[in-house]
Chain A
Amino acid sequence: MGEFLGYRRPDGRVGVRNRLLVLSVGGLTGPAARRIASSLRDAACVVLPYEAGLIGDDKAIHDRAALGLAGHSNAGAVLLLGDNPKVLEQMAGQIAPLGKAHAAISMDGCGNDVFEMVARATRTGARLIREMSRLRRSTVPLSALTVGLECGRSDPSSGLVANPLLGRVADALVDAGGTAILGETLEWLGAEHLLATRARTPEVAADIVASVERREAAAVAAGVDLLGTNPTPTNIAAGLSTIEEKSLGSAAKSGSRRIEGLLGYAEAPRGPGLWVMDAPAYAPESLTGFVAAGAQLILFTTGVGNSYVSALSPTVKVSANPETCARLDGQLDFDAHAGFLGQEAPKALAERLLATLTDVAGGTPTWGEILGEGDEVVSRFGAAL
């Protein structure tokens, strides 16, 4: 423990995978990108469906997320596809300083001929994979890791066992000099006073409380009753009654360490330690916020089961519900039900999960990777032109 085998990137960051990222910048080339990626080994496909017509903060956040994905340390090489050559050129210019192999192919550059695009991009992608595959794993410290903390389709076993378990692992990672990110702002509602007491400065505490109040006000202004929205009908059937109850269980994922600061969506932490990201709670958007911010791994708890994983960052699925662990054997990466039954002490569970995390960091695939699950979804923050 304390180290794992990772890919050292030229910019000093560390990847836990060496994938060719096939990134469609805009939705017009999305279907072609998926065909190209499906015919190449070690390719991960990410389609950003929106591009032209984005404005203001929505565009700024989208572009930050796109760049975060394009430069992600789990990608050893990047193949950019899109309709707008200027956008691709700009993005290629921004990732060039990272020193990783990349190429950009636009619709214009292919005479708007999709057969031509697929043929050229597949050849180019194959060459990029060959080039990136020369890199070998080497021993790196745990401090190189940034881990996103997520829960989805939660039940009371999440708040009692699985989320506090993630909290202990987050503490261990932070103590080792690593980085952890808690997101899902709405799931701080009712727990924000507890998070605020752990803030590094009074300003950070105020940021945390204000971000919760903004979400709460947005729900009230939209006439949304949180009961049935968050908690969801699935949460309620499982026994969670209010957003406060869900939040107190959810926020336990953050452990007990100092909160360094509040990040915007897809914003990279400005140093090691525990950070909170003001972001939507829905897993596809939330995970991409973490990944675009630089998380190489995700720890993801579930009560009743949740198959969603990131396309770029291996997502370790954890459950403490005995029935779920039995039913979804072969889909959950970590079985914590012994904690729910009082048969395994919290400390032992945490050591076992940290060992699983470093094992996955070193190359053991998650069930999500084996099953070919995985996607990235960038949140929207306004209307496009």
Chain B
Amino acid sequence: MVFDAIALSVGDNVATVLRAVSAGDVLRVKRGDTIIELAAAESVPMGHKLALGDIASGAPIVKYGTTIGEARIAIARGAHVHVHNLRSRRAAQRAD
């Protein structure tokens, strides 16, 4: 089975890309045991994450079937998900 990105749990809303991806690339994403197709909205370096659907600002980001933080801003399907739009919910130092 050939795929370009992987989400280990079916409940994940992000997938990890297994190769560097360019905007417009149509990716085969292994999500649990199935393959879905998704267009990358922007370039994503190998090993980084991409949104599997639209994610509202403040909504949890889920990887490994578990919350890894929340969206700082609204994130569109196919977008790169990293420290610019995802933040930890733990050990928070922020005033807001």
Q: A residues engaging B (CB < 8 A)?
A: 155-157, 159-160, 189-191, 194, 216, 219-220, 223-227, 236, 238-239, 241-245, 248-249, 303, 321, 323, 340-342
In contact, A243 and B45 (Cβ under 8 angstroms): no
Asked, given contacts A239-B16, A242-B86, A242-B88, whether A220 binds B68 with beta carbons under 8 Å apart, the answer is: no
The answer on a CB contact under 8 Å between A156 and B1 is no
- Chain B 34-71 per-residue mask, 1 if CB under 8 angstroms from chain A, else 0: 00000000000111110000000000000110111100
Q: Find out whether the CB atom of B47 lies under 8 angstroms from the CB atom of A157.
A: yes
- The answer to whether A249 and B91 have CB atoms under 8 Å apart is no
| Best-buried of A223, A241, A243, A340 by chain B (most CB within 10 Å) | A241
Asked, given contacts A190-B68, A248-B64, whether A156 binds B88 with beta carbons under 8 Å apart, the answer is no
Give, as a whole number of angstroms, the nearest-CB distance from A326 to chain B: 13
**In the complex, which of the residues B1, B6, B86, B87 contacts A160, with contact meaning CB atoms closer than 8 Å?**
B6
Contacts of A321 in B (CB 8 A): 47
CA distance A186 to B16 in the complex (A): 23
Beyond A160-B6, A223-B93, A243-B88, is A342–B1 a contact (Cβ under 8 Å)? yes
The docked-state distance in angstroms from the alpha carbon of A219 to that of B88 is 14
CB-based nearest B residue for A216: B91
B16 in contact with A226 (CB, 8 Å): no
| A157 nearest in chain B by CB position | B47
Cα separation A236 to B48 with both chains bound (whole Å): 9
Give A189 to B2 CA distance when docked, in angstroms: 33
A192 CB to closest chain B CB (Å) equals 10
Q: Which B residues are in CB contact (< 8 Å) with A236?
A: 82-83
Give me 7 other A-B pairs in contact (C-beta within 8 A), A220-B91, A238-B47, A239-B46 excluded: A156-B48, A226-B90, A239-B47, A241-B81, A244-B69, A323-B46, A342-B30
A190 with B66, Cβ < 8 A, contacts A241-B81, A241-B86, A340-B18 known: yes
A88 to B1, CA, bound (A): 61
Q: How close is B75's CB to chain A, nearest CB, in angstroms?
A: 12
Does A243 lie within 8 Å of B48, measured CB to CB? no
B residues engaging A (CB < 8 A)?
A: 1-3, 6, 8, 16, 18, 30, 45-49, 63-64, 66-69, 81-83, 86-93
Bound together, the chains give a CA A179 to CA B70 distance in angstroms of 37
Q: How far is the CA of A160 from the CA of B7 in the complex (A)?
A: 9
Contact call B91/A226, Cβ cutoff below 8 A: yes
| Bound: A342/B16 CA distance, A | 13
Contact, CB under 8 Å: A244 / B49:
no
Inter-chain CA distance A204–B95, complex, in Å, is 34
Asked if B45 and A239 make an inter-chain contact with CB atoms under 8 angstroms apart, the answer reads yes
Interchain CB contact under 8 A, A242 and B16: no
Q: Which one of A191, A239, A323 lies within 8 Å of B48 (CB-CB)? A: A239
B91 pairs with A241, CB closer than 8 A: no
Most chain A Cβ neighbours within 10 Å, of B3, B47, B49: B47
Identify B18's interface contact among A219, A243, A341, CB under 8 A: A341
Chain A residue nearest to B8 in the complex (CB) = A160
Contacts of B30 in A (CB 8 A): 342
* Contact pick for B91, options A156, A160, A189, A238, CB 8 Å: A189
**Given known contacts A219-B91, A236-B83, is B47 in contact with A241 (CB within 8 Å)?**
no
Asked whether B66 lies within 8 Å of A244 as measured between CB atoms, the reply is yes
Closest chain A residue to B2, Cβ basis = A342
Q: List 17 A-B contacts (CB under 8 A).
A: A159-B64, A160-B16, A189-B90, A220-B91, A227-B83, A227-B88, A239-B82, A241-B49, A242-B68, A242-B87, A243-B90, A244-B69, A244-B88, A248-B63, A248-B64, A248-B66, A248-B68
- Nearest Cβ in chain B — how far from A310, in angstroms? 28
Q: Which residues of A contact B91 (CB under 8 A)?
A: 189, 216, 219-220, 224-226, 243
The answer to whether A244 touches B89, judged by C-beta atoms less than 8 angstroms apart, is yes
